[in-house]
């Protein structure tokens, strides 16, 4: 089964700086989704980008998708201490029988220092 891989595994920055996290995957996808998880709680959905889209914005978030390289990036601009969390990418594989099941990457732990 495909497995997303995020890098870096951990990222520590100062408040106000930008944070970039990357995700790679192995097979063709319908879409890729980014999530945030605070302290082992539930997942908060951030952005869904479809396989035919290259870039998407939501507030301070910018997601890119390069299907030729099977990779995506999440950029958080002007970071805040409240952005401290784990960030996961998840892919919905293309192909019959996938039934919208998500395969998650290992996640990036982002720490934003005040």
Partner 1 sequence: SAVISQKPSRDICQRGTSLTIQCQVDSQVTMMFWYRQQPGQSLTLIATANQGSEATYESGFVIDKFPISRPNLTFSTLTVSNMSPEDSSIYLCSVITGPNQPQHFGDGTRLSIL
Residues of this chain that interact with partner 1 (CB under 8 A) are: 30-31, 33, 35, 40-45, 48, 50, 88, 90, 92, 99-107
- Per-residue burial over 29-50, b = 16 or more CB atoms within 10 Å of its CB, e = otherwise: bebbbbbbeeeeeeeeebbbbe
Q: How far is the CB of 73 from partner 1 (least distance, A)?
A: 18
Q: How far is the CB of 29 from partner 1 (least distance, A)?
A: 11
Q: Which is nearer to partner 1, 83 or 92 (CB)?
A: 92
Q: Which is nearer to partner 1, 40 or 59 (CB)?
A: 40
Q: Give the integer Cα–Cα distance in Å for 44 and 34.
A: 9
Q: Give the integer Cα–Cα distance in Å for 72 and 89.
A: 8
């Amino acid at each position: 089964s495909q497995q997303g891989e995020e890098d870096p595994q951990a990222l520590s920055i100062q408040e106000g700086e930008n944070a970039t996290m990357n995700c790679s995957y192995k097979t063709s996808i319908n879409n890729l989704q980014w999530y945030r998880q605070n302290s082992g709680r539930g997942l908060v959905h951030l952005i869904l980008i479809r396989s035919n889209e290259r870039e998407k914005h939501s507030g301070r978030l910018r997601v890119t998708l390069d299907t030729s390289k099977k990779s995506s990036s999440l950029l958080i601009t002007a970071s805040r201490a409240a952005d401290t969390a784990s960030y996961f990418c998840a892919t919905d594989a293309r192909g019959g029988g996938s039934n919208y099941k998500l395969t998650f990457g290992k996640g990036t732990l982002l720490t934003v220092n005040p």
